[in-house]
Structure 1
Amino acid sequence: MRMHKNLDPPEFGATAALADMDDHSPTIRLHLWLEGGEGVFFGYGRLLLLDRIERCGSLKKASEEMGMSYRAAWGKIKQTEKVLGFQLIERSGSRRSGYHLTEAGRLVRDKYFEWFSKVESDARARADEIFPWRSKSFGES
């Protein structure tokens, strides 16, 4: 005897239990990253790290703000640079001067953010079409 449950999606509005669903306002959360044979080489975490390096002028301060060790932050940057074949950050001057993004680092950061924003926008539009509630993007929450 073969047993299976009905896997058809529920009809919203079909039951009284679903009637108050439009009171919800969920946040769309996406995990998007780029990976190659060496594993992950760019994602939202690296975007945030590059942003903080640019803002702080320091890899140490950026990693502290993100709650990660300097060594972990350095490793993530170096892994991405190895895969891409160019530098994302460079020293601002002397050893104590800190770091800033290279032109290529800014470009990778900005292009990833552009891609992420477009995918998030599309996901939100599809969610609004499918679900009986209005969703929010992560930045709106």
Structure 2
Amino acid sequence: MRLHIWLENDQGTLIGLGRAMLLIKIRESGSLRKAAEELGISYRAAWGKVRQAQEYLGEELVRKNGKGYVLTEAGENLARGFMEWYDKVERFALDQAQDHFPWPVLPFTVKRSSPPQSNSAR
């Protein structure tokens, strides 16, 4: 089973699994280009997704830092919060699927990076 869930407003998509993973890859590599390559998307598409989410949220999610990028506190909180929420919804959906279908419903396994760790308040 693979869930496709995202948050959107009347302007469009704010965050989904792909954007959360993009933010995490940017944090890990310090590079938008490397993050895009690891996820198999173009630099232009990756930057467009980040820019669009920033415009919709009215907050900066990534910041240029020398030759690369770092996540802002808002970016860290958004990526971490989405991944925690996604994992909880996925576990609940898997449990519910067992009650509704006569065959085993297994999680779709994707090699994901761990969500950002932070003690700051959301």
TM-score for the superposition, normalised by structure 2: 0.83
Q: Give the equivalent residue in structure 1 for 2:118.
A: none
Q: Give the equivalent residue in structure 1 for 2:15.
A: 42
- Of 63, 71, 75, the residue aligned with 1:101 is 71
Q: Give the equivalent residue in structure 1 for 2:115.
A: none
The secondary structure found in structure 2 opposite 1:111 is helix
- Of 47, 60, 64, the residue aligned with 1:91 is 64
Paired with 2:30 and 2:61, the residues of 1 have a C-alpha distance of 13
Paired with 2:78 and 2:84, the residues of 1 have a C-alpha distance of 10
Moved more, 131-140 or 76-85: 131-140
Confirm or deny that 1:58 pairs with 2:31: yes
- Of 75, 79, 83, the residue aligned with 1:113 is 83
Structure 2: which 5+ residue stretches go unaligned?
112-122
Q: Give the equivalent residue in structure 2 for 1:29.
A: 2
* Overall identity of the aligned pairs, in %: 46
- Of 47, 54, 57, the residue aligned with 1:74 is 47
Paired with 1:42 and 1:134, the residues of 2 have a C-alpha distance of 29
Tell me by how many angstroms 1:140 deviates: 7.7
Number of aligned positions between the proteins: 111
CA RMSD of aligned residues (A): 1.7
